[in-house]
Amino acid sequence: MADAPKRTPLYDLHVELGGKMVDFAGWEMPVQYPLGIMGEHKHCRAKAALFDVSHMGQVILKGENVGAKLEALCPQAFSTLKEGKARYGFFTNENGGIMDDLIVSNAGDHFFVVVNASMRHQDIPHMAKYLDGIEVIEIFDRALIAVQGPKAEDVVGNLCPGVRDLKFMETMIGAINGVECRISRLGYTGEDGYEISIPQDGAVEVARAFLADENCEPAGLGARDSLRLEAGLCLYGNDIDNDTSPIEASLIWAIQKRRREEGGFPGAERIQQEIAEGTSRKLVGIRPEGRAPARQGVEVQSEDGKAIGVVTSGGFGPTAGGPVAMGYISTDSTEPGTRVNLMIRGKAQPAEIVSLPFVQQNYKR
């Protein structure tokens, strides 16, 4: 029998705000608030939205040469990650597939890692087993809140002015209403914004302080998914998994040059070979021409009816103003502008291969 879903420190606040609560990866989370997915999504792109992402796994890694040791599990250059900087990465398996994606921050006397809610049960033992001499501490007493959108700098900066000076993928410690938080300028919506790790006892107070700003509305998992999809960001379990390599997933940008050349991470043989020779399929954007959304699992065919791929994430993009999708397509059909058919409920719906993202990313570089 499954365990009862867990609740984040913000659970009561979600209910108070009218959040529609659903079970997600073993957590009771708001999928939307009364504003609705569409309204929350647009509000995030126009002003700012607050997301509870406390279900994600927060981990502290302590010990000598943490960055170098992490390089044995991930193809990222973490040994050269400077203090105060964060970097996107992923754990790879022996076959070069992706075990999970994560954000790693160098917090000075330790590394701070955030992994997916659905994979924390895997990732934490994985790190504990392979990071020799490193203390792997899973954090259970902190909330994680994302404030995202063009007004996020004001929403957070009005309470903690120092965050205005952070650049994209930088992290700092700052006090918000007297509560000491880890504040990182990053997120997963394609917008500027912050993720803020807060001691659980102060989390509701800090969330309320953000929401007191007229520019900031609460947003749920529904908007989070449509925002990341429009931004062309992969969702673990949909777009990337143990069978997809980072090269197939068009994530080569996240493997730094030295690591591409030197290898020394699980699955390096396949990944280096794919860097040199290419892959037979690639993750690309797909733009349906009509109104019908193409959801995960929809088959993609060439115009002459040959199966050439599958949709891994798809839905309606409120900012794009129509359906958007991503999926794996045979590499010879991935040129932007290539016309394809999406087999939705047995009917061929015309679509076009497009470059990702669907909306411009607005990071503060």
Partner 1 sequence: MTTYYSEEHEWIAVEGDIATVGITAHAAEQLGEIVYVEQKDGGDTFEKGDEIGVVESVKAASEIYAPVNGEIVEANEALADSPATLNESPEGDGWLYKIKLSNTDQLNDLMDLDAYKAFIA
Q: Which residues bind partner 1 (CB under 8 A)?
A: 31-32, 36-38, 41, 222, 226, 291-293, 295, 315-316, 318, 323, 345
| Least spacing, CB of residue 205 vs partner 1, in Å | 30
* Minimum gap (Å) between residue 285 Cβ and partner 1: 18
Q: Give me the phi and psi of 277, to 5 degrees please.
A: -110, -10
Q: Minimum distance between the CB of residue 29 and partner 1, rounded to whole angstroms? A: 14
Of residues 97 and 317, the one with the C-beta less far from partner 1:
317
Shortest reach from residue 222's CB to partner 1, in Å: 6
**What are 114's two structure tokens?**
């955030």
Helices 221-230 and 36-46 pack at an angle, to 10 degrees, of: 50
Query: Which residue, 293 or 309, has its beta carbon nearer to partner 1?
Result: 293
**Which residue, 220, 294, 249, 228, is CA-closest to 52?**
220
Least Cβ distance, residue 218 to partner 1 (angstroms): 16
Q: Which of 214, 212, 238, 211 is nearest to 226 (CA)?
A: 238
Nearer to partner 1 (CB atom), residue 24 or residue 363:
24
**70 and 240 in contact (C-beta within 8 Å)?**
no
The candidate with the shortest Cα–Cα distance to 160, out of 178, 133, 138, 142, is: 178
Q: How far is the CB of 126 from partner 1 (least distance, A)?
A: 32
Element (H, E) at 308: strand 307-317
138 to each of 58, 97, 123, 142, 326, how far by Cα in Å?
A: 6, 24, 10, 10, 33
Residues 6+ away with beta carbon under 8 Å from 267: 92, 93, 94, 95, 96, 97, 245
Closer residue to partner 1 (CB): 38 or 343: 38
Kindly state the smallest distance separating residue 32's Cβ from partner 1, in Å: 7
What is the rounded CA–CA span in Å between residue 265 and residue 340?
36
The residue among 214 and 289 lying less far from partner 1, judged by its C-beta, is 289
Is the Cβ of residue 69 or residue 228 nearer to partner 1 in the bound state? 228
In this complex, which beta carbon is closest to partner 1, that of residue 7 or of residue 295?
A: 295
